[in-house]
Amino acid sequence: MEISSRKRTHLSKQHKSMRGDPEGDSVIQSKQHKFAVPAPPNGENEMALDKGISPRKRRRKVHEHYISVIKPRKHKYVNDSDMSIGERSDTPDTLSQISAIAPVDDTLDPVYEQIKAPKKQVDTTWEQAVEHARGQPDGAEKSYLKKKFSKVSLKVKSPKVKNSSENDQEIVPVAVNNDGKLERRKSLKMQLKKATSKLKSLKSKKNIDDSKKKLDATLADETMTKKPSMKELPKKERKKVRKMMNNNYEMTQRSKKIWEDLRRHDLQPEKKKELCDELMEMVKGKIKQFCFAHDTARVVQCLIQHGTPEQREHVFEELKDDICIMTKSKYAKFLVKKMLMYGSKHQKGLVFRNFHGNVRKLVRHAEAAEVVEYAYNEHASSSQRLLLLEDFYGPSFALFRTPDILTLDQIMINQPDKREMILRNMKEALLPLIDKNILLHSMVHRLFMEFFTYAGDKMRAEMIEALREGLIHMLHTRDGSRVAMFSVWHGTAKDRKVIIKSLKTHVVKICKEEYGHLVMLAIFDVVDDTKLVQKALLEEMLKSTQVMFADQYGRKVLLYALCPRDPLHFHPDIVRVLQEGDKNFTSKKEKSVREQELLEFFSQPLLQYVVDNARDLVLNNSSLLLVLSIITHALGDPKAAMEAIAKIAGEPFVAGDTESPHIVENPAGHMTLKRLIQNDKDRMKSGAGVLFSEVLLMNLGEGSLKSWAACNRGCFTLVFLLELEHPEITKHVVSQLMGIRKSLKKMTFKGAQVLLQKLDLLT
């Protein structure tokens, strides 16, 4: 018989299931109350009711019978079973009443559906398992996941319904949140996991309680002492305990004491030999273990430094197969340096042969690159340097040595067919080396220099574009500065702009470099954008003019801006190198125009600096040529600078003053006056309006020229004025010196004799 809709509603109210109704009719049925429906009155059976009575009247009679017989009875579903038959108020007294009890027809009014006879109980175990396995229907979880499970409060409803034939059955607990909505039930796996963790926590708690009891018992006993744990010890004590756990602890401590004694400068040779022998016996066979620790590595270094050649050979034999690994160690790398410093020629050669084929990897390692750089610069011969560089020329050069060849130039001459292959391999190997830390090494600078020397325009342009921002790290070596010069010469306008901007904030430091200042000279020669040069470079130089004047290479930069490639200030080899940049195809502006624009920017600040610091400059021999060049070549009126120097010369002269000698008697000041006076000849030829000699005589007091004749240098200064052959100047000097001719004859120094001869010729 199918379950009616009212019956299904009744079941859904009793079971607050999360799934709702299944897709089809379920075999699960509600547990019904145990009582029967009485038969119609007057002892008539079911067949009698059907004869001659309409269904409507029959239902009415049954209803009236129900009201009169069944309704007054008060059922006690639980306790009635315990009462005796005589004690029950609803027990039928006669046989007719007993026979009147009959089942209710299924077609009766729905009121009687609640009191129908119980259906045979069905085993629902499999149905419940299927329902549990199905879980939520599609889309149901989305609404349940909106609330966090941590906020869900469990309200368990487990009503029990009695059944005469089966055991009691409980409703499944349902999780309800604070809003009254159903939430997702925890899976069995989660419940088991939670129970397991709870059990573990209880067990651990029990162990803790037991350990606490034992600890209390131990502390209660005054004879027992507590052993401190590692965490309770200070940091130094913990470190010491860990070291003592090492198997070689005693040996390490003894070797360190020997090391401390060997470092002493006053140690006797016999004692030193004895300690070295003891140390050698101690570390023999264990040197590899010692060389990678920060303290024991120093012990082995000391043994290499103070040991005998035989002991060094033994140490080297144990370590020769691990040299490349040692170079990558923070502490063992110093042993390789000691081998190169104190090892024999054969041992050094073996170190370099270990490097061969591994240089490309070692140079990119932070620790190993330092060792390779040290070996290349300090201990490598020409052939050994080529041995290190050959790894970058190609696989064939890394595997096989090239006999009797010392440079890449010889390889290019002897094997011209390998030129393209070598350049291609070098480009592939050098591109990964464009890194701030790697570009500091001179060996890398040499590789880039060789590449730029032989590369074509296309390969050179690609390398310049990749390298232009890192050139700042290469300017401290000869090869590195040459690479930067190549980049400036052959780079595009954009490359030059990037290079110049990368030099900002480092301009003064670069100008003071022995090789870095040449890059500044190359920039002055070829960069057309003089506004960029002025703003990025020259302004920074002029802010530190005093520093530039004090440094020899800084003065070279200023001199090149005033008088480019002047042989008086620049060596022909430097000029020859700078001339290589004249062949570039990027510069379009005339060279004279560039020089004039830079000179206009420099001139006035430099002239003003001479005026403000005339005394320091004229009395300093190193700045003599720079002051002369400023007065000679600077654009603008140099009269103010000349007057500042002439006023110093016009101060009272005291011959033989050693504490503060006069400018005439000071070696640097005398040379400054000499060069400025002699320079007036060129100024007279060029038609310059102001002569230093005229300015000098105008600022000298009466009798100053006579007082100068009292010293040798003063006499020569007067001779320079007379040799100028300027009519007015010569006339003024002769008129001042005519009265001291007799005194000049009595003087024995060379200057007085030369001056007297000049006066005799002019008069």
* Strand duo 153-155 + 182-183: pairing: unpaired
Query: Is the pLDDT assigned to residue 382 strictly greater than 60?
Result: yes
Q: How confident is the model at residue 79 (pLDDT cuts 50, 70, 90)?
A: very low
Model pLDDT, residue 644: 93
Query: Is the pLDDT assigned to residue 435 strictly greater than 70?
Result: yes
Distance of alpha carbon 319 from alpha carbon 287, whole angstroms: 8
Please answer whether residues 317 and 339 qualify as being in contact, where contact means their C-beta atoms are separated by less than 8 angstroms: no
Question: What are 186-230's pLDDT values in tens digits?
Answer: 567 777 777 777 776 765 655 555 655 655 555 454 444 445 566
Query: Is the pLDDT assigned to residue 744 strictly greater than 70?
Result: yes
Model pLDDT, residue 269: 87
Model pLDDT, residue 562: 93
| Average pLDDT value over all residues in the chain | 78
Query: Is the pLDDT assigned to residue 661 strictly greater than 80?
Result: yes
Model pLDDT, residue 747: 86
- Top-confidence range, 344-348, 734-738, 747-751: 344-348
Number of alpha carbons in the 13 Å side-chain half-sphere of residue 724 = 32
Model pLDDT, residue 450: 93
Query: Is the pLDDT assigned to residue 16 strictly greater than 70?
Result: no
Backbone phi, then psi, for 622, in 5-degree steps? -70, -30
* Residue 468 token pair: 């232009």
**Where would I find the H helices in 619-726?**
624-633, 639-649, 667-686, 692-699, 704-708, 712-723
Residues pairing with 183 in the sheet: 175
Give, in order, the Cα–Cα distances in Å from 702 to each of 406, 708, 735: 72, 12, 12
Give, in order, the Cα–Cα distances in Å from 744 to each of 41, 673, 709, 752: 177, 22, 8, 6
Region 361-388 average pLDDT: 92
Model pLDDT, residue 17: 44
Is the four-CA dihedral 345, 350, 353, 355 of positive or negative sign? negative
Looking up tokens 């349940």 gives 144
Please answer whether residues 526 and 581 qualify as being in contact, where contact means their C-beta atoms are separated by less than 8 angstroms: yes
Q: Which of 649, 744, 750 is nearest to 693 (CA)?
A: 649
Q: How confident is the model at residue 288 (pLDDT cuts 50, 70, 90)?
A: confident
Q: How confident is the model at residue 323 (pLDDT cuts 50, 70, 90)?
A: very high
Q: What is the DSSP letter of 145?
A: T
| Three-state helix/strand/coil letters over 499-563 | HHHHCCCCHHHHHCCCCHHHHHHHHHHHCCCHHHHHHHHHHHHHHCHHHHHHCHHHHHHHHHHHC
Model pLDDT, residue 513: 94
Region 365-369 average pLDDT: 92
Q: What is the DSSP letter of 172?
A: P
Question: What are 436-445's pLDDT values in tens digits?
Answer: 889 999 999 9
Q: How confident is the model at residue 43 (pLDDT cuts 50, 70, 90)?
A: very low
Model pLDDT, residue 758: 86
Question: What are 61-75's pLDDT values in tens digits?
Answer: 766 665 655 544 444
Region 113-139 average pLDDT: 55
Domain map of the chain by residue range? 33-115, 266-355, 637-762
Model pLDDT, residue 71: 46
Model pLDDT, residue 104: 45
Region 469-494 average pLDDT: 93
Model pLDDT, residue 68: 58
Please answer whether residues 520 and 557 qualify as being in contact, where contact means their C-beta atoms are separated by less than 8 angstroms: yes
Burial 242-251 (b: 16+ CB within 10 A, else e): eeeeeebeeb
Region 293-312 average pLDDT: 89
Is the four-CA dihedral 751, 752, 757, 758 of positive or negative sign? positive
Distance of alpha carbon 479 from alpha carbon 515, whole angstroms: 9
Q: How confident is the model at residue 247 (pLDDT cuts 50, 70, 90)?
A: low
Question: What are 509-561's pLDDT values in tens digits?
Answer: 999 999 999 999 999 999 999 999 999 999 999 999 999 999 999 999 999 99
Which of 148-157, 505-514, 717-726 shows the lowest per-residue confidence on average (mean pLDDT)?
148-157
**Where would I find the H helices in 85-187?**
95-100, 125-134, 140-144
Read out DSSP for 352-416? HHHHTTTHHHHTTSHHHHHHHHHIIIII--HHHHHHHHGGGT-HHHHHS--TT--SHHHHHHH-G
Model pLDDT, residue 613: 92
Model pLDDT, residue 136: 55
Distance of alpha carbon 101 from alpha carbon 81, whole angstroms: 19
Q: How confident is the model at residue 256 (pLDDT cuts 50, 70, 90)?
A: confident
Burial 177-204 (b: 16+ CB within 10 A, else e): beeeebbbbeeeeeeeeeeeeeeeeeee
Model pLDDT, residue 556: 95
Give, in order, the Cα–Cα distances in Å from 209 to each of 200, 206, 224: 14, 5, 20
Which of 422-431, 606-615, 628-637, 648-657 shows the lowest per-residue confidence on average (mean pLDDT)?
648-657
Share of the chain above pLDDT 70, in %: 70
Share of the chain above pLDDT 90, in %: 38
Which of 338-342, 503-507, 747-751 shows the lowest per-residue confidence on average (mean pLDDT)?
747-751
Q: Which of 90, 98, 94, 93 is nearest to 45 (CA)?
A: 98
* CA 751 to centroid of chain Cα atoms: 68
Q: How confident is the model at residue 42 (pLDDT cuts 50, 70, 90)?
A: very low
Distance of alpha carbon 446 from alpha carbon 389, whole angstroms: 9
Query: Is the pLDDT assigned to residue 293 strictly greater than 90?
Result: no
Query: Is the pLDDT assigned to residue 59 strictly greater than 90?
Result: no
Q: Which of 418, 421, 414, 409 is nearest to 449 (CA)?
A: 409
Please answer whether residues 118 and 34 qualify as being in contact, where contact means their C-beta atoms are separated by less than 8 angstroms: yes
Give, in order, the Cα–Cα distances in Å from 733 to each of 678, 700, 708, 710: 16, 12, 12, 15
Which of 355-364, 422-431, 742-751 shows the lowest per-residue confidence on average (mean pLDDT)?
742-751
Region 350-373 average pLDDT: 92
Q: How confident is the model at residue 156 (pLDDT cuts 50, 70, 90)?
A: very low
3-state secondary structure of 593: helix
Q: Which of 356, 35, 18, 55 is nearest to 172 (CA)?
A: 18
Higher per-residue confidence, 258 vs 31: 258
Query: Is the pLDDT assigned to residue 368 strictly greater than 60?
Result: yes
Region 111-135 average pLDDT: 54
Higher per-residue confidence, 236 vs 584: 584
Please answer whether residues 580 and 489 qualify as being in contact, where contact means their C-beta atoms are separated by less than 8 angstroms: yes
Region 663-691 average pLDDT: 87
Q: How confident is the model at residue 484 (pLDDT cuts 50, 70, 90)?
A: very high
Residues pairing with 350 in the sheet: none
Model pLDDT, residue 593: 93
- Rounded to a whole number of angstroms, the distance between the first and last alpha carbons of the chain is 160
Q: How confident is the model at residue 148 (pLDDT cuts 50, 70, 90)?
A: very low
* CA 24 to centroid of chain Cα atoms: 68
